[in-house]
């Protein structure tokens, strides 16, 4: 026997039952983005390494430790994208999207790659959906982005979600605050974990986000950003909070929220799931007013978010939202007599105009076919034998309740539509 292969650690296959949930997660997102006026952008999965070093940030864990980087045949350094934002900005500049509209509103979906330690909700190839609004400093844009994420997660059925927001101030305020935090931590380094020593050197603000208990104790007394924010940054954050309230979004301000990427200025936010916890966010983002310039463009304010599909699926499972509600098949058509197959064939092709239909290729014993239908997750089995052929009907058996009804062929479509509702 030849060698057996397995999916690489931190990657996973999506089988049909899972893909169905994924497709719904994607469809609801696309539909909402359309209604908010966003257009789709698709960017490559690999780019020049330097794009992420400059974009995601050279000092971040993502770039320092987690990128899949390799030379191509010409010796250029390429990396699989660890996130979408730098690529979207590169494309925005490369295609002069600023000339097409004052503000570009883009959405995207696809795989991202981070060489992280795999665990619950943590993969090496994971999938994000996200949006970026490029070209406006308005707090209204921050709010639109946050509301879209919030409404989206609710639209797919999640109830137990929480939102935390914070401001890191503009570039100047952020630098000032970073200095204040550095001074504060300098005297307390001996009480910080090993990772935080490293963070302290690269970006002291990241220490504020540490989840290690001893670090949390130190951080509890850290100075808050409020004291160093300038008037404009204060008023920007006030506006964001005011409009979030007006939009009916529940949120709390978490002055320790920093996020793991270095490009953020002013608003940052994260949505977490009650069951899976604050430490593993469903999605997050913020404003990044310096990134376009950092990537060679003119000074252009922007804001966006990304959410992780695997994490959304876990949260849906924890709330049992998807369980049992979505069938892979609407109807399994079972011919049970030798001379009923042609009739079953015609019925199946007729029903396929509107429904997902499995036609069993051979006439088999009814019990075997019903067992197969239920294994496949069919909502109904349409049984046709000699009587049904004669009467021009089919017996529709509801697989969950066991209820059955003989329905005329010419009424089967409208009857099923009513029964299946929005499924």
Given the complex with ligand HAM, which of 233 and 268 has the nearer CB atom? 268
Given the complex with ligand HAM, which of 145 and 333 has the nearer CB atom? 145
413 CB neighbour count, 10 Å cutoff: 15
Given the complex with ligand HAM, which of 291 and 383 has the nearer CB atom? 291
- Own/partner long-range contacts of 72-76 (Cβ < 8 Å, ≥24 apart): 76/48
Dihedral (C-alpha) 30, 165, 161, 208: value to the nearest 10 degrees? 120
> Which 3 state secondary structure label does DSSP give 120?
coil
Q: How far is the CB of 158 from ligand HAM (least distance, A)?
A: 13
Q: Which stretches does DSSP call E strand in 243-351?
A: 252-253, 267-273, 277-287, 302-308, 329-335
Q: How far is the CB of 23 from ligand HAM (least distance, A)?
A: 19
Nearest alpha carbon to residue 307 among 109, 156, 154: 109
Alpha-carbon gap, residue 344 to 388, rounded angstroms: 10
Given the complex with ligand HAM, which of 156 and 218 has the nearer CB atom? 156
Q: How far is the CB of 95 from ligand HAM (least distance, A)?
A: 19
Q: Which residue is nearest to ligand HAM (CB)?
A: 308
* Contact residues: ligand HAM, CB under 6 A: 83-85, 114, 116, 121-123, 126, 128, 130, 132, 260-261, 281-286, 288, 304-308, 310-311
Given the complex with ligand HAM, which of 188 and 202 has the nearer CB atom? 202
Alpha-carbon gap, residue 24 to 183, rounded angstroms: 49
Q: How far is the CB of 126 from ligand HAM (least distance, A)?
A: 3
Q: How far is the CB of 130 from ligand HAM (least distance, A)?
A: 5
Alpha-carbon gap, residue 411 to 418, rounded angstroms: 11
Q: How far is the CB of 248 from ligand HAM (least distance, A)?
A: 23
Q: How far is the CB of 134 from ligand HAM (least distance, A)?
A: 10
Given the complex with ligand HAM, which of 61 and 360 has the nearer CB atom? 61
CB 370 within 8 A of CB 397: yes
Given the complex with ligand HAM, which of 304 and 385 has the nearer CB atom? 304
Helix orientation angle between 16-35 and 139-155, rounded to the nearest 10 degrees: 140
């Amino acid at each position: 026997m030849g060698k057996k292969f397995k999916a690489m650690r931190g990657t996973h296959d999506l089988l049909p039952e899972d893909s169905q949930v994924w497709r719904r997660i994607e469809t609801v997102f696309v539909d909402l983005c359309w209604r908010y006026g966003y257009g789709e952008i698709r960017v490559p999965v690999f780019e020049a390494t330097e794009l992420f070093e400059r974009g995601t940030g050279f000092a971040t864990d993502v770039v320092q430790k987690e990128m899949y980087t390799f030379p191509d045949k010409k010796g250029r350094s390429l990396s699989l994208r660890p996130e979408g934002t730098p690529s979207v900005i590169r494309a925005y500049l490369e295609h002069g999207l600023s000339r097409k509209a004052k503000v570009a509103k883009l959405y995207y979906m696809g795989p991202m790659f981070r060489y992280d330690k795999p665990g619950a909700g943590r993969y090496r190839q994971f999938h994000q959906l996200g949006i970026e609004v490029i070209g406006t400093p308005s707090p209204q844009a921050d709010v639109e982005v946050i509301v879209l994420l919030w409404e989206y997660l609710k639209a797919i059925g999640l109830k137990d979600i929480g939102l935390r927001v914070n401001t890191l101030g503009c570039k100047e305020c952020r630098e000032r605050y970073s200095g204040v935090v550095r001074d504060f931590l300098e005297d307390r380094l001996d009480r910080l974990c090993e990772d935080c020593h490293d963070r302290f050197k690269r970006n002291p603000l990241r220490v504020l986000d540490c989840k290690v208990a001893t670090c949390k104790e130190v951080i509890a007394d850290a100075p808050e950003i409020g004291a160093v924010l300038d008037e404009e940054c204060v008023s920007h954050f006030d506006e964001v909070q005011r409009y979030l309230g007006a939009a009916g979004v529940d949120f709390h301000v978490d002055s320790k929220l920093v996020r793991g990427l270095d490009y953020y200025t002013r608003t940052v936010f994260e949505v977490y799931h009650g069951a899976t916890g604050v430490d593993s966010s469903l999605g997050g983002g913020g404003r990044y007013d310096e990134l376009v310039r950092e990537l060679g463009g003119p000074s252009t304010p922007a804001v966006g978010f990304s959410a992780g599909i695997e994490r959304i699926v876990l949260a849906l499972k924890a709330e049992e939202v998807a369980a049992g509600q979505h069938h892979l098949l609407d109807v399994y058509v079972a011919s049970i007599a030798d001379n009923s197959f042609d009739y079953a064939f015609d019925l199946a092709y007729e029903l396929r105009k509107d429904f997902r239909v499995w036609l069993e290729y051979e006439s088999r014993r009814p019990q075997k076919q019903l067992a197969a239908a239920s294994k496949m997750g069919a909502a109904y089995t349409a049984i046709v034998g000699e009587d049904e052929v004669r009467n021009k009907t089919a017996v529709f058996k509801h697989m969950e309740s066991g209820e059955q009804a003989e329905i005329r062929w010419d009424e089967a479509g409208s009857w099923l539509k009513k029964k299946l509702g929005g499924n």
